[in-house]
Chain A
Amino acid sequence: MRALPTFTVATAVGLLALVGAAHQASAQIKIGAVLSVTGPASFLGDPEKRTLEIYVDEINAKGGVNGQKLQLVVYDDGGNADNARTFATRLVEEDKIIAMVGGSTTGSTMAMIPVFEEAKIPFISLAGAIQIIQPVRPWVFKTPHTDRMACEKIFADLKARNLTTIGLISGTDAFGKSMRDQCVAVAGNADITIATEESYGPRDSDMTPQLTNIRNKAGVLAVVNAGFGQGPAIATRNYRQLGITLPLYQSHGVASKQFIELAGPAAEGVRLPAAALLIADKLPDNDPQKPVVSNYSRTYQQKTGQAVSTFGGHAYDGFMILIEAMQRAKSADTAKVRDEIERTKGYVGTGGIVNMSPTDHMGLDQSAFRMLEINGGDWTLIPGS
């Protein structure tokens, strides 16, 4: 019994050494990724991993970067931040990567930041929260837009329609809470008054009491719902059930066809911000993002047979920003690559047009979101948004 594990370990070590040697011969540039491929956040990590694999292959088929082939090292943290940190250390110490694209969730990203900061290796996160890049850390970047931007986008549209007093209803799940906090934080700057606030549990099946209270609040001109999953669909149905005629805004959290299916006719007239990737076919031909989002959608659907999601798009953006930075640096030196990532200007990606700076390690602005209205069971793009 005792000899068996030793033998197994020895074989495994031997095999690993062989695999390592084989890879060292062909691959010169190692890029690391710790993603939540399985577990509760697999809807993030799975498309991210597939995207990275597709585009590493594509770059290698074209001869690699600066004449060197890429090697992708992916670890699955299973949605667990502790695992993420362990894998981050392994990427640094054993795999000796020169850059990292990944961190599917905010939790795993925050856990890995100290590792890459200490090792001085560029780290492009694919997670949402604004804490990742505020305060700015020299080696940490991120590609997804933030909740704050979604709030600002909604508020800008409200202001344009002169609907400056609103009722806010949000889910009590992580997404709803975070977006609610950001919306409350930016409301003042956007000249929006939140006259009344309500919440609902992520699994609630009726929100008419909360919506009745919002309806009865004097002065409310529009209602904003910060939420993810089924809650917003039920809130929208209840909204129509009560016959409320005020304009209703949903968040980017439900920017999918599924929301229209679930809410049904009640969704008519609802407005919401969404990333350009989800409405690739609706974008006008002169839209700067049209080519990149159409290409990515087509490639992803062809190679995986699945519908495109914004999360895979974040991985695409992170990877391409890194590749372009290495091309500009004409080297894979970590410090030079970091400097070039920070100098990214006018990169047109799936998430928007990225202009990074020493004080902004995300580089997206409001134009990353488009304002949509649901009409006839489909999205319509609101012009000029």
Chain B
Amino acid sequence: MTPLLDVSGVTLQYKTPEHLVTATYQVDFQVFPSDRFVVLGPSGCGKSSLLKAVGGFLKPVEGEIRLSGHIVEKPGPDRMMVFQEFDQLPPWKTVKENVMFPLTASGRLRGREAEDRARSYIAKVGLDGFVDAYPHMLSGGMKQRVAIARAMAMEPAILLMDEPFAALDALTRRKMQEELLGLWDEVRFTVLFVTHSIEEAIIVGSRILVLSPHPGRVKAELDADDFDHRAVGGEAFQRLQTRIHDMLFADRVEAHG
């Protein structure tokens, strides 16, 4: 089976006014169709930079990123991003217009077709009643649902999610994780999901890439397909959680010791 997304030997660097920071160093991983591929690591492991590189916003200084065999060079609507920040939705567009915007801007669909597609995905995330609302009238969780509907309506090759639930309260976050899994069950899209929460990684992911911090290097790739919310607190779940925790914690001991 050929991978959908092939990241090989990717080193990412960015400049601050004083330093040239290496965010990730020679990272390899492969994402296959219908994977829920989670990139997990503490802050400073370059996981967000990695996602931005796949999104085409950041150029690797070494290595290459291939999507369906083609090298990723610039942002494009075949890789739709869902960001953590609530201001990712243009405030001057209603929920429906927001979901239609990428469809029409990329020339994929127009007019009636775009509207029908938008409505069906808005219904999928349970916002039928808010089609004509503006983003400022919505709660944080509803805004993230719109962002997810917007990304899914494009039916992209891969969905890129950058800690999409991190700014939500714990109850809403749990609900959104369940809904995302429900949507995946229905549509079977491929998603690359970045998080710093071990629990979220195990619940959401089918496969977990663990990164070490400063700079991000691949520490492990683990299987997590058997766990959802019902597994939380179970013995196997806790064993995996402890295993990942120890992996990340071991780094800190090294760094300090």
A, B in one complex:
no
The chain B residues found within 8 Å of chain A, CB to CB, are: none
